[in-house]
Chain A
Amino acid sequence: MKKVSGRFAVLALVVVLSVVFFLPSYKPLYQALPDWARKVLPDKGITLGLDLQGGIHMVMEVDEDRAVEIAVERSVNSLQDLLVDKKIPAESVKRTGPQQVTIQFANGELKAQVQKLLEDYPTFFEAEAAGSANTVVWELRDTEIKRIKDSAINQALETIRNRIDQFGVSEPLVQRQGLKQIVVQLPGVKEPKRAKDLIKETALLEFKMLDEDNQMRMDFPARIPKEKEAETVRQFEAKVPEGDQILFERVFEKETGREFRVPYLVKKRVMLTGDVLSDARVSIGQFNDPYVSITFDSKGGREFERITGENVKKRMAVVLDNTIYSAPVIQERITGGRAQITGTFSTQEASDLAIVLRAGALPAPLKIIQDLTVGPSLGQDSIDKGVQSTLFAGAMVVVFMIVYYRLSGAIADFALVLNLVCLLGALSALNATLTLPGIAGIVLTIGMGVDSNVLIFERIREELRQGKGVRLAVDGGYNKALLTIIDSHVTTLITGVALFLFGTGPIKGFAVTLCLGIAINLFTALVGTKVIFDVLNQRPKVETLSI
């Protein structure tokens, strides 16, 4: 008599655990459970992959080089202020390379004074060879470049996270991948385009002064179609005075809603940027037109007061990502640290703008290098088809096994169900993400699970043919098939592990189900079915076996 109760207990425990872990994955049933049960049960099960529930998967790269350039440009700006403060009459301060600043002055005697300024900019060093009698060239230190690049991606991650949090997506994933890539996953997002725009927008808010003295001389067209920006810039480039640039205001024609651009001559110098904001909210104006009201922090508020005080009756442009939203005339010194961004907004645009302003600007533009968007209808379609064909495939195998192996076939079918239950339980316990290839992996595992039993049964048949008794034949069959089953499973497992280690996304999902499935197969084929045969063989007289 062989002891079977112990193995039965193990089997029962595994099944119960699998069901417990799987329960949260099946929402209708889980929701119907009483509260106390839900408290005891695990609260997370299998997550559906984007291909099954719809959503966005994006991989982006931060333009690191641009981040360095931006940092250098900021130094140029502050250096200009410093030169004015110290009353050093420099001719120009310019970024002359990705990480290089050149300061030019008419009088060679100023050189020593300028060189002394380096003390205030420890992240730069003087490239003496590149300078001359009338110029000083600074370059950014390598350690600083590395720091900027590093912090650029971290800052981008943080910013994107903030924005998505405020946009409201359940279970978003924002993480770093490799050195400079960011992966964003938004499952079940309803408005993919809006979400993407929200993430991608650099949202660099700048306040710049219009160059009204020279604007007249430019002879700009009154307005141009949206697409002609680049063309217009090329056309007028030659006439742009030193230190100025052409920027465009976006305007909408009231009747048709068509978008146009109005060219302006703007001073390059940035008066204030969005990083001094403490809040941004949507407000509704007197004509029911939404606008964004912004609040500066205390330092920003003081700056804004000073700037507006010094430029009364001049026009200041509110620039977001190099597009002018509005260019109002400053009527008086603005105290209180508040301002408005008007422009022709829809309510949604205004609220998205408020989100990006609150969440902060990205340190540099993002490049999207991979973008997968799956609509919810396709997802449902895929689930339906996948589940249907899986069920059908399972049914075919079940019937085949019973027809071919009779009672033993039924035992193999029991193993198959056991297999499926355990696999779903294991996937739930790991909070795995089920993708479409994952479903295919489950189906394949079903096919292979049956294989193990076929190997065993054919061996048992051989033993029976040799005239052995039922008990001996069963034990012999299991023992002799054991090595074959292990060898064949391990080879497949090697492939599965290789796929898991080097696969990405959907392939990983497939590899997980495959590997788990193989392990569970081994268990059900060697323990699950054997127990049942042993129970059958415990009857006092065993003469025949239905196989």
Chain B
Amino acid sequence: MLEILGKTNFDFMGKRTIAFLFSGIMVLLGLIAVVQISRGAANLGIDFAGGTAVQLKFEQPIRIDEARRALDANGVSNAELQEFGQENKLLVRVKASTTIEEKTAERVMAVFTKDFPTNKFVVDASTEIGPTIGRKLQEDALIAVVISFIGIILYIAMRFELRFGVAAALATFHDVLAVLGAFYVLDKEITLLVVTALLTLAGYSLTDTVVVFDRIRENLRLRRRESEEATINGAVNQVLSRTIVTSLTVVLVLIPLTLAGGEVLHDFSLALLGGVIFGTYSSVFVASPLLLLWPGAAGRMMKRG
């Protein structure tokens, strides 16, 4: 029998002060990111902010500074440029201030046709999104988040106990905020796909938390003589190899997607990857200790299952 971990007996609950401190910082970062997003100061993708993105594939390499100069000279200012690897691909993004009526995409193409006549290109993709759509998407994303959170808290509260539901929801919030904070600090673009990834990782991190809670629930019923802290700690240790193996299989899947899944999937997979790592950490170090914080919880046994 091959095992990553044998029988363990780590004192996870005893480390909760350090864990809460670390998680507090990550959550704070995430909250700052949320505030910045709502102020419009974060790096929002054009699907939220509205604007134009054109991805061109050139026959020969194109230098970013030359491309920028050409665009500036032709009145397409405040464009963001991004290269993709060795494929001579260039992504030009012009945010919010433009409307579709201005035909920014066509103008960008015209600039490159005019100023780089020897370097032919094909249009890989072009996206133009009006500001009204962006607002609608923001609202929809927010509704999806709220609905899924309410649903999850209700479900877990029904299956376990209210404090489990709240702890699971808080831990999940923590994971989403931590990844969002990390994306904000790394100045990654927050696109609709990244938000999808955040919601998915919320679901995934919950799965992980539920596995741990499930064992805690079981043990609380069986071992009525131990202190609650010891019971929870024991349960976390018992499922530790499960927690790690399940996360490992998902990480195994996500690494190739992040590294070689193509530019569209990269940030998406990266967010999920971060989510799985934080989700695993939070099931052990955040969700479980949170159960102890519930007023009057210590020493009290589960009354129903």
**Interface residues, chain A, CB within 8 Å of chain B?**
51, 59, 192-193, 367-375, 377-378, 381-382, 385-386, 388-390, 392-394, 396-397, 400-401, 403-406, 436-437, 439-440, 443-444, 446-448, 450-451, 454-455, 458, 461-462, 483-484, 487-492, 494-499, 501-504, 506-507, 510, 514, 547
Contacts and interface: CB of A to CB of B under 8 A. Distances in A.
A491 B245 contact: no
B124 A378 contact: yes
A396 B152 contact: no
Contact of A375 (B124, B210, B248): B124
B268 A437 contact: yes
Q: Is the interface of B mostly helix, strand, loop or mixed?
A: helix
Contacts of A369: 100, 129-130, 132-133
20 contacts: A369-B130, A370-B133, A373-B126, A377-B57, A394-B253, A396-B253, A397-B249, A406-B2, A440-B272, A447-B252, A487-B159, A488-B206, A491-B152, A491-B155, A495-B203, A499-B144, A502-B143, A503-B144, A503-B196, A514-B203
A371 B262 contact: no
A489 B126 CA distance: 37
B25 interface: no
Instruction: Using C-beta atoms within 8 Å of the partner chain, give the interface range for chain B.
Output: 35 or more
A454 B249 contact: yes
Given A378-B125, A498-B199, A502-B147, A484 B252 contact: no
Most central of B100, B128, B196, B204 by chain A CB within 10 Å: B196
Contacts of A503: 140, 144, 196
Contacts of B137: 504
Given A491-B206, A494-B148, A506-B192, A450 B256 contact: no
Given A385-B260, A440-B268, A487-B159, A370 B129 contact: yes
Nearest to B141: A502
Nearest to A405: B2
Contacts of B106: 193
Nearest to B261: A389
B126 A507 contact: no
A495 B279 CA distance: 15
B128 A368 contact: yes
The dominant DSSP class at the A interface is helix
B207 A492 contact: yes
Given A378-B124, A390-B257, 8 more contacts: A372-B127, A382-B262, A396-B256, A444-B253, A447-B254, A454-B242, A491-B152, A504-B140
Contacts of A488: 206-208, 210-211
Contacts of A51: 264
A371 B246 contact: no
A208 B126 CA distance: 39
B2 A404 contact: yes
Q: Which of A388, A403, A499, A503 has the most CB of B within 10 A?
A: A499
A371 B47 CA distance: 11
B120 to A, nearest CB: 13
B9 to A, nearest CB: 15
A454 B249 CA distance: 9
A444 B249 contact: no
Contacts of B148: 494-495, 497-499
A447 B152 contact: no
A498 B198 CA distance: 13
Interface in B202-235: 202-204, 206-208, 210-211, 214
A447 B125 CA distance: 30
B156 interface: yes
B1 interface: yes
* Max chain B Cβ within 10 angstroms of own Cβ: one of A393, A397, A450: A393
Interface in B118-161: 122-130, 132-133, 137, 140-141, 143-145, 147-148, 151-152, 155-156, 159
Given A392-B256, A491-B210, A451 B249 contact: yes
Given A451-B207, A454-B245, A371 B126 contact: yes
B255 to A, nearest CB: 8
Contact of A393 (B125, B155, B238, B252): B252
A-B CB proximity, top 7 nearest: A495-B203, A385-B262, A369-B130, A498-B148, A447-B250, A488-B207, A492-B203
Which of B2, B200, B206 has the most CB atoms of chain A within a 10 A radius of its CB? B200
A448 B252 contact: no
Contacts of A367: 100-101, 130
A502 B144 CA distance: 6
Contacts of B206: 488, 491-492, 495
Given A436-B264, A501-B147, A448 B128 contact: no
Interface string B167-179: 0000000000000
A496 B203 contact: yes
Given A370-B128, A396-B256, A448 B207 contact: yes
B256 A440 contact: no
A206 B200 CA distance: 54
Nearest to A391: B256
A450 B254 CA distance: 14
B58 to A, nearest CB: 12
A448 B262 CA distance: 22
B210 A371 contact: no
A387 B8 CA distance: 39
A385 B124 CA distance: 15
B265 interface: yes
Nearest to A450: B249
Contact of B246 (A375, A455, A496): A455
A374 B124 contact: yes
Contact of A389 (B129, B211, B242, B257): B257
B101 A404 contact: no
A458 B245 contact: yes
A373 B125 contact: yes
B55 interface: yes
B269 interface: yes
B196 A397 contact: no
